[in-house]
Amino acid sequence: MTDSNSHKAEQKAKTDVAFFGRITASVTHELNNVISIVDQNAGLLDDLVAGEARGVPISLERLESVSRAIQNQTQRGLQIIERLNKFAHSTDFTEAECDVNLTIGNLVELSQRLASLKRMKITFAPAQVTVHVTGSGLVLQRVVFSALELALTNGTAGTTISVMVKPDDQGAVVLIEFSADSGVQKDHEAEARSTVEQIGGRLEVGSSENGVKVSVYLPGALTG
């Protein structure tokens, strides 16, 4: 491997690790919130039991409310872990057939907390047919996330970010639409475009009825 190729490989590895770290950090913060709510409700159960011991009857309605809250948070936690597990397994193979609908759908769910911190939310519409590309699932998500960050960074607070997958002659296209008061900053656009081009794809930024439309054209085989 030449020095140039070695440097590119090292930079790519650092980029992959940084992306993996950002998503994982956000998800673990969300899991921590789930555990905190469960802990608070467990503490409330202790208070109810202590009150019963002092002769204060436990309200059945209150008990059911606490139980329901714990169950809801348990299900929420299991869903978060399932999504994180799928994300972690996207590193298993550098050359594999990736279902774009499933992979990007999972990425959208993992990114919801980052959107909520910006007072935004993300909706996802998969393609009506199964769409596959070949390569690393982690790279696929990193590339699409670089475009999603354009919305998270430049979008208007309160906006809904729309993410759609469509089949393309060469592979697939991911469309991201959002409202932005001042459009997209050129340096942010250039950085996202460079990331997409590294895998042989193409990024286009234009306008739509909702404001800004970002199109990420993914090749059938990811080269990054």
- What does the pLDDT look like over 4-38, one tens digit per residue? 555 455 566 678 899 999 999 999 999 999 999 99
pLDDT attached to residue 8? 53
Can you tell me the distance from the alpha carbon of 157 to that of 4, in angstroms, rounded to the nearest whole number? 42
Can you tell me the distance from the alpha carbon of 190 to that of 194, in angstroms, rounded to the nearest whole number? 6
Inter-axis angle of helices 3-53 and 137-154, to 10 degrees? Answer: 70
Can you tell me the distance from the alpha carbon of 161 to that of 109, in angstroms, rounded to the nearest whole number? 12
**Third-level CATH fold of 3-89:** Helix Hairpins (1.10.287)
CA distances from 176 to 31, 43, 180 (A): 27, 43, 12
Sign of CA dihedral 146, 149, 153, 159: positive
pLDDT attached to residue 99? 96
Can you tell me the distance from the alpha carbon of 114 to that of 26, in angstroms, rounded to the nearest whole number? 7
192-211 pLDDT, tens digit each: 999 999 999 999 999 988 79
Per the listing, tokens 């998800």 go with 27
pLDDT attached to residue 52? 84
Can you tell me the distance from the alpha carbon of 85 to that of 23, in angstroms, rounded to the nearest whole number? 12
Per the listing, tokens 């469509």 go with 166
Q: How much is the pTM?
A: 0.88
**Chain mean position to CA 43:** 32
Q: Which of 95, 88, 173, 159 is nearest to 127 (CA)?
A: 173
DSSP state of 220: S
Burial 144-159 (b: 16+ CB within 10 A, else e): bbbbbbbbbebbbeeb
Residues whose CB falls within 8 Å of the CB of residue 82, separated by 6 or more in sequence, listed in order: none
- What's at 61, amino acid-wise? E
Residues whose CB falls within 8 Å of the CB of residue 83, separated by 6 or more in sequence, listed in order: 27, 106, 109, 110
| CATH architecture for residues 96-219 | 2-Layer Sandwich (3.30)
Q: Which of 102, 103, 196, 106 is nearest to 149 (CA)?
A: 196
Query: How confident is the chain (224 residues) per 10-residue block, as mean pLDDT?
Result: 52 80 95 96 91 86 92 96 95 91 97 96 96 94 96 94 94 95 91 93 90 95 79
What does the domain layout of the chain look like in residue ranges?
3-89, 96-219
pLDDT attached to residue 6? 55
Per the listing, tokens 């011991």 go with 53
